[in-house]
Amino acid sequence: MQAAVYFENGAVVYAAANVRTLRLREYLIKRGLVSEAECASFGNNLSDLGLAAALRAQGKLNEKDLDEQMAAVVSDVLRVALLWTTGDWGFNPRARLDETTGLKLDCAALLKEAAHRLPVDFVALRFRNPGETFRALPTLLRRAIFCLPRASCFLVSTSRQNLKRCLRFSKLAELDTYRVLYGSLSAVW
């Protein structure tokens, strides 16, 4: 599988994969929003953005439903890609989208979800320095406290936190503490 993720000013604005089940056409048909015949009338070579534009132009789908389905496709592509622990990654500064998407994506929730689904040994390797100190910015911390599980709140609630201290005071097993920290910090930042 290959995926492409597009950013604008540091924020994810779009993602696509070369897997049929992660394509807009499949989501629309599966949810009964567009028939297979209607999709076929646009041809099979349209990108997801091209299909969305064609559906908009013909008024086949209302804007809200189309945006929801596009956001679902992009979120699912990201869910898969965020779980990859091996592979080849590249950055192409010339890659650009031809149009703006305006999708509303909850990337913090996707990062947190992925961090909690990654293999524990992979997550533990992210914390190589037990003396490492981290801190949450106050504005991000206030937002995080409302969306973090109770075990995470203590671990990120102080202004400065040392990994050794977190391990010592956490009521969780060491590997579980790593997972909570990794997920919480990725959701906060």
The amino acid occupying position 181 is L
Instruction: Measure the CA–CA gap between 100 and 111, rounded to whole angstroms.
Output: 23
- Compute CA 129 distance to the chain's CA centroid, rounded to the nearest angstrom: 27
| Full-model pTM | 0.78
Total domains in the chain come to: 2
Residue 96 in domain: no
118-150 per-position pLDDT tens digit: 998 888 888 888 777 766 555 444 444 444 455
In which domain, by residue range, is 140 found? 107-188
Q: Give the C-alpha distances (Å, rounded to integers) separating 12 from 7, 30, 132, 150, 154.
A: 4, 26, 28, 28, 29
Residue 150 burial (CB < 10 Å; 0-12/13-18/19+)? exposed
Domain termination residue (choose one: 44, 66, 81): 81
Residue 87 in domain: no
Q: Are residues 51 and 115 in the same domain?
A: no
Domain termination residue (choose one: 41, 64, 81): 81
Residue 88 in domain: no
Where is pLDDT greater, at 187 or 185? 185
Q: Are residues 132 and 177 in the same domain?
A: yes
9-33 per-position pLDDT tens digit: 888 999 999 999 999 999 999 999 9
Q: Are residues 46 and 118 in the same domain?
A: no
Q: Are residues 24 and 75 in the same domain?
A: yes
42-97 per-position pLDDT tens digit: 888 899 999 999 999 988 888 899 999 999 999 999 999 999 999 999 998 888 88
Q: Which residue from 86, 71, 96, 163 is spatially nearest to 122, judged by alpha carbons?
A: 86
Residue 133 in domain: yes
Q: Are residues 66 and 113 in the same domain?
A: no
